[in-house]
Copies of this chain bind each other. A is one copy, B any other.
């Protein structure tokens, strides 16, 4: 019965209660009484909508041909890594003693790698930073789980600004804490500071800030960040506790029209930055990123050690050594990201022309399109009939919208336009 009790505690919802109870009884009938941690089985079994769309697309492609599917469901970069990535990897492999190259690094990462990250942070953002503030991670997801487990305790709350990346909920709930959703405004999907204030209480441990944003493409302004920082400073003092900003920044370099992404540690000292090279260097499968704990955070060294301890408890021995050595030499380098801006311009202008309502994204590689039908699920279903795969906003904690990932090839985007137009016509919005 242990998994059952745990499950109830972790979910605390009647609907899940029933599902768990049913599954539990099913397992009871088939095997011994207690097989596995049911919560984990559910996490591993529940196919995300994104994954379902992907499978639908594959099946459709087999039936009607690749050309008839326009898959805008996944945030998988289509632009290859810069050619220097292959050159540096090859050179590292040919010129380094394999026992050293592939050997353990320290748990925090190789010192020279952490120094290169710190130098980049100092030079780009004018922010105090050295190697002792940098913990190399197995991508941004590992950075987030290590940071969350470090600063969040069971029964606390973590604020997320909806719409938000769905895995935040999984990662937060794994710490035993609860997700507190605060909707952004629906004009440009920037945060509402009064709404954040209303959500803060003595249980608030952290707020996740993801700018440039997945799924909306919003890039928070300096003014946004300043206001959030002022609010948090005030509430921390009143509540006599630290509330962290966990800044999830895999899209940092993907900004358009000369916008700047404020580096949050420069505005709020209790900030933990989670970074990944997945999008900037087009290396999403290689899992390499870092945590940067602001040296100005309260008890910064203890916070850093807690991040390391959490990483250890989660099973992260070190970030992949070869990839560490690679990014040491790729600081500030990016893939040719201009194609994403061009994709945005093409789609934004076409979709607007066809009568869709889209807030112009300021960064990342997503359009968050308002559903012309009553609900986004039916919009997504209608689009599927044209071979267009769009993720309903429900997955991101905001209904009435779909997410369109335009990190696709130009060819797919160009060929999709007539279908978007036909869909607009069917839905009666074509101007």
A interface residue numbers (CB < 8 A to B): 2-3, 5-6, 27, 30-45, 74, 76-81, 85-86, 89-90, 93-94, 97-99, 101-105, 138-139, 141-146, 149-156, 167, 170-171, 173-174, 203, 205, 236-237, 239-242, 282-287, 298-299, 302-323
Taking the closest CB of chain B, its distance from the CB of A167, in whole angstroms, is 8
B residues less than 8 Å from A80 (CB atoms): 97-99
Cβ-defined contact, B303 with A3, below 8 A: no
Q: Are B315 and A138 in contact (CB under 8 A)?
A: yes
Residues of B within 8 A of A36 (CB): 150-151, 242, 299, 302-303, 306
Q: CB within 8 A of A86: which of B94, B242, B287?
A: B94
> Which residues from chain B contact A143 at a C-beta distance below 8 Å?
315
Given contacts A32-B236, A318-B285, contact A2 B156 (CB under 8 A): yes
In the complex, what's the smallest C-beta–C-beta distance from A243 to chain B, in angstroms? 9
**A-B CB proximity, top 9 nearest:** A44-B309, A285-B321, A43-B309, A145-B315, A44-B308, A31-B298, A44-B305, A2-B153, A40-B309
**Are A313 and B94 touching (Cβ within 8 A)?**
no
Distance of A233 from chain B, by nearest CB (Å): 11
Query: In the bound complex, do residue A317 and residue B287 qualify as a contact, i.e. CB atoms below 8 Å apart?
Result: yes
22 pairs from A and B in contact (CB 8 Å cutoff): A2-B203, A27-B299, A30-B298, A33-B240, A33-B241, A34-B241, A37-B152, A40-B309, A43-B308, A44-B307, A85-B102, A86-B93, A86-B94, A90-B93, A102-B282, A102-B284, A103-B285, A104-B284, A138-B315, A139-B317, A173-B313, A286-B320
Q: How near does chain B come to A274, taking the closest CB pair, in angstroms? A: 10
The reply to whether A35 and B320 form a contact with Cβ atoms under 8 Å apart is no
Instruction: Please report whether the interface of chain A is mostly helix, strand, loop or mixed according to DSSP.
Output: helix
The answer to whether A40 touches B98 (Cβ under 8 A) is: no
Are A102 and B31 in contact (CB-based, < 8 A)? no
Contacts of A171 in B (CB 8 A): 313, 315
A93 and B102 within 8 A (CB): no
Kindly state the separation between the CA atoms of A173 and B167 in the bound complex, as whole angstroms. 24
- CB pair B282–A99 under 8 Å, yes or no, is yes
In whole angstroms, how far apart are the Cα atoms of A37 and B217 in the complex? Answer: 32
The distance in angstroms between the C-alpha atoms of A33 and B155, with both chains bound, is 17
The reply to whether A318 and B149 contact each other, CB–CB distance below 8 Å, is no
Are the C-beta atoms of A174 and B314 separated by less than 8 Å?
yes
CA of A44 to CA of B198, assembled, Å: 34
